[in-house]
Amino acid sequence: MSHSSKLHKNRCLLYNQGLMPYLEAHEWQRSLQGDRIHDPNLDDVLILLEHPPVYTLGQGANSDFLKFDIDKNVYDVHRVERGGEVTYHCPGQLVGYPILNLQRYSKDLHWYLRQLEEVLIRVLAVYKLQGERIPAFTGVWLQGRKVAAIGIKVSRWITMHGFALNVCPDMTGFERIVPCGISDKPVGSLAEWIPSITCEEVRFYVAQCFAEVFGVEIVESQPKEFF
């Protein structure tokens, strides 16, 4: 990287959204990714939002990890093109969808996954909590409980999907699945350690730590192309 480009940080547009249906957010990500495949010079984006209760399965995910009949259920279930197994989203879980052009950073998916983990480990450190990685698994753990799941999809080095951090969700929805296909490691939420924590305050730290880890300038923005 030349000296001058170090001085000019990449901009990353921050779209802070509220509660958004999963399929609407998915469609939005795909359109942002498509725009950037078409024009790689567009700014990177970080979307932060929450979803109404929904189960999603990664591309090769095993539906045996659902503890209910996928055809006779009352829950929203979607199979999508990210990597990873089944996961659960609901209010109180902060979801981040970075739409990044990895050609600006590193064309290495393992590097990218570790950077996403690093963002969340730094967020936990703000609260004096020691987030951990477990070799061979993707995500972030806190005292043996998985508090953040990560699953990505990359096309022509443009990313979509991302991470989900359990801030203060109703955890009962996780009882109906084997989260991420890992049966012997429980899920947890930050509220177990910090009862008063909210997604609202955590958003701020996620954006800040994301800017640090990726070396970008966060620009709070209102999306115009989608709504």
Known catalytic residues are 180
Query: Phi first, then psi: what are they for 164, rounded to 5°?
Result: -135, 120
- Taking the C-alpha atoms of residue 15 and residue 2, their distance in angstroms, rounded to an integer, is 29
Q: Is 211 exposed, middle or buried (0-12, 13-18, 19+ CB in 10 A)?
A: middle
Q: Collapsing DSSP states into helix, strand and coil, what is residue 129?
A: coil
User: Which residues pair with residue 96 across a beta bridge?
Assistant: 48, 163
- Of 109, 66, 94, give the one whose Cα is nearest residue 169: 94
A 10 A CB-CB count for 160 gives: 25
